[in-house]
Amino acid sequence: MTIAPAKLSDPTVRAFVTAINAGDREAFFRVLTPDATMSDDGSDRDLNDWVDREIFESNGRMDVQTESSGGHGLVANFTNETWGEMRTAWRFTVADGKISRFETGQA
In this predicted model, what pLDDT tens digit does every residue of 67-76 receive, in sequence order? 999 999 999 9
Q: How far apart are CA 7 and CA 16, in angstroms?
A: 13
Where in the chain are the domains?
5-106
Asked if residue 34 has pLDDT above 90, the reply is yes
Q: Quick: pLDDT tens for 49-63.
A: 999 999 999 999 999
| Class level of CATH domain 5-106 | alpha beta
Q: Is the pLDDT of residue 1 over 90?
A: no
Nearest of 72, 100, 76 to residue 86 by alpha carbon: 76
| pLDDT of the residue at 13 | 98
